[in-house]
Amino acid sequence: MKFTLGCFGFFSSKSLASSISTSEQEHGYLRIFSSNELTVATRNFSSFNKIGEGGFGSVYKGRLQDGSFVAVKVLSVELESMHGEREFISELAALSNIKHENLVSLQGCCVDGNNRYLVYEYLENNSLYQTLLGKEENRTKFSWEARRAISVGVASAVAHLHEEVHPRILHRDIKASNVLLDQNFTPKVSDFGLSRMLRDDTSHVSTLVAGTIGYLAPEYAFSGRLSRKADVYGFGVLLLEIISGRSAVDFDLERGEYYLVQKAWEFYNGNNLLQMVDPILCMNFPEEEALRFLKVGLLCVQESAKLRPQMSQVVRMLNNEIDTRDVMVKQPGFLSDPMKIISRQKNSKKSTSSRDNSTSSFF
């Protein structure tokens, strides 16, 4: 990285522009926007232009003066907790000088008072959460071929972050709402606000737990030791969602709330894993490939982090470059009582907030 983002202190518009101008000259793609440009582009951040909302801010569709469309994330900085500022820094650090066809493209940013704006490429088909896991008629748009391409694309992006960039990047929140789709349904991994850097000489970083229930690796949820295998777990849950069309945490009248991982494990043990495949496909899929994808999903969510494959291995498994037919799947891990984790993390956050301003916790 060619420019310094500081140690979680507040940026002024002038200092940020100066820093990023250096990067823009060297790399030619990161742009400083004025708040007026973004206000005009989003029609004063009209509710009609709002296309998403996350833990730290809202996202709006905007049209720049040159006619191009962008997505503008507005991060409002909370002075005491530094929420918003930390996400802003993490996104810039992760996306300012890496490129991959399956990673969302950061176009630029803006600082205005306590507001931080991040400007991304606009993706027409929103997120997997809003489409594939939304209404049933939306799921009909996702053929087996589309689901295969999305799965491999996301896996390739995470493998790139884990194994090809320096320092390594741990996303920390792989989930359906953080996978966006362009007009051709090409997947783009987004939202690096919780990401962490991992030096080549380290296996993990210790943080307060942050992420989303249903996608959290149990060892990370209990210990706060974040490794690449936590992202592998999140991807495994996402892969099961893509193939089944079901959410990570689901509900039915007989069982109440339950985890998709748990359901997949039951089908696997009953030797009827194909029942996990989305019925909307009406059996229009290759059975052997579907079984392989579901098995890879289960391999990624095994309770023992050591047993989970690396993401580059996951890509090769999905592409049938590694034979998985004789690979045994072990017991998956999932949080049987997530409320205990949430309660413990809230207490931990209160006791450490005065000395640790580099982590955030939300579910």
Residues labelled as active-site residues: 173
d(CA 357, CA 84): 12
Beta bridge partners of 72: 60, 119
d(CA 92, CA 4): 10
119 SS3 class: strand
**Annotation-wise, does 73 bind a ligand?**
yes
Structure tokens at 309: 């494959």
Q: Scan for tokens 């996306």, then name that residue.
A: 95
Smallest CA-to-CA distance from 158 within 274, 239, 76 is with 239
d(CA 334, CA 347): 22
Whole-angstrom CA distances from 24 to 27, 183, 334, 340 are: 5, 28, 43, 46
DSSP label at residue 262: H
Count of CB atoms within 10 A of residue 134's CB?
14
d(CA 167, CA 103): 17
Q: Does residue 167 have a cis bond before it (omega within 30 degrees)?
A: yes
How wide is the angle at C-alpha 135 spanned by C-alphas 130 and 140, nearest 5°? 100
Crossing angle of the two packed helices 228-244 and 287-300, in degrees rounded to 10 = 150
What's the number of CA atoms in the CB half-sphere (13 Å) around residue 7? Answer: 2
E strand map for 64-184 = 69-76, 106-112, 115-121, 168-170, 179-181
Burial (Cβ within 10 Å: 0-12, 13-18, ≥19) of residue 70: buried
Known binding positions for ATP: 73
Known binding positions: 73
